[in-house]
Amino acid sequence: MEIAVISGKGGTGKTTVAALLGVYAAPVVMVDADVDAANLALLLQPRIVTEEPFYGGRVARIDAAQCNLCGSCEDVCRFGAVAGGVVNPLLCEGCGACYHVCPVGAIVLEPSPDGCLYGAEGPYGPVVHAELSVGRGNSGKLVTAVRQRAREMAGRGGIAWTIIDGPPGTGCPVIAAVSRVDLALVVTEPTRAAFHDLERVVDVVNHFGVQVAVCINRYDLHPEFRAAILDYCRAAGLPVVGELPTVLEASRALVAEKPLCALMQTKLALMCAQMWRKIKGLVVEATACEPV
């Protein structure tokens, strides 16, 4: 069973909630799919056991020995990636146009090293995370690669639950993080921006037919927005599985980059335990209702 924890807006406490749910779901595969700014490992402090390069696209390279400096590749490149017979790999989008126009076959398209994929051992089970190289795109592909690796680990270890700490926003990486999961938990907070993004991200997830539940983090921030979110969820038929209070000692522990165990004595952890029971109930119920 896979649960994706997403938020639309960044900074709602999504990663903390995902990590705390992992405590109660253990044994669990924990996945950091926020590949542009991975930080789940700060909380879990796992021990890295495997590291492998991720090749997400292609990058052009010019063989200087064959190049006659005709300039055709520079003229055809719409990304300004070629100058003086040399490709700037940071600008190259791997479109292949230069490869096709080169009269002497001096250009090769090679796999582009876009990031790194890590397999690790965490306190509650395996942890998979990744890092996208600076300036590279393909975060959606890297999220898919991370999820694939997590599935393999879950299969090998006979682990029933996987929790994915998803990326913020509503773009391609989020779609890659939520596609075909058993439930998407949207962590929001009672602010105008977060409420707006909640609506947007729910639209995206609904489009893929994935079951959605909502967690209102720091529900005590703003009573009116909290009421508006609850009204919206009621009207949209979205279960609110948890309302978490602002817990100052949790914020202090996070700022000090203390490991997750530092949060375990907080009210937040207790409420995440209750939330996990509700999430588990929703997923198990939905699975039982699936046609055979």
Sites of contact with ligand SF4 (CB under 6 A) = 60, 62, 67-73, 76-77, 79, 81-82, 85, 87, 92-98, 101-102, 104, 106-107
Least distance (Å) between residue 63 CB and ligand SF4? 8
d(CA 210, CA 208): 6
How many other CB atoms sit within 10 Å of the CB of residue 291?
3
CB of 136 to ligand SF4, least distance (A): 13
Work out how close the CB of 267 gets to ligand SF4 at its nearest, in angstroms, rounded to a whole number: 52
Q: How far is the CB of 244 from ligand SF4 (least distance, A)?
A: 46
Which one, 62 or 212, has the nearer CB to ligand SF4? 62
The distance of Cα 287 from the centroid of its chain, to the nearest Å, equals 24
Considering the complex, state which of residue 76 and residue 116 has its C-beta at the smaller distance from ligand SF4: 76
Q: Is beta strand 47-62 parallel, antiparallel or unpaired with respect to 107-122?
A: antiparallel
DSSP-derived 3-state class of residue 183 = strand
Is residue 204 within 8 Å of 44, Cβ to Cβ?
no
Longest pairwise C-alpha distance within the chain: 69
Write phi, then psi, for 183 (nearest 5 degrees).
Answer: -160, 140
Query: Of the two residues 77 and 275, which places its CB atom closer to ligand SF4 in the complex?
Result: 77
Between 106 and 282, CB nearer to ligand SF4: 106
Of residues 68 and 274, the one with the C-beta less far from ligand SF4: 68
Burial classification of residue 292, based on how many CB atoms lie within 10 Å of its CB (0-12 exposed, 13-18 middle, 19 or more buried): exposed
CA 44 – CA 261 distance, rounded (Å): 9
Minimum separation from the CB atom of position 88 to ligand SF4 (A): 8
Contacts of 48 (CB under 8 A, 6+ apart): 118, 119, 120
| Shortest Å distance, C-beta 185 to ligand SF4 | 39
Which amino acid belongs to residue 29?
V
Closer residue to ligand SF4, CB minimum distance, 70 or 221: 70
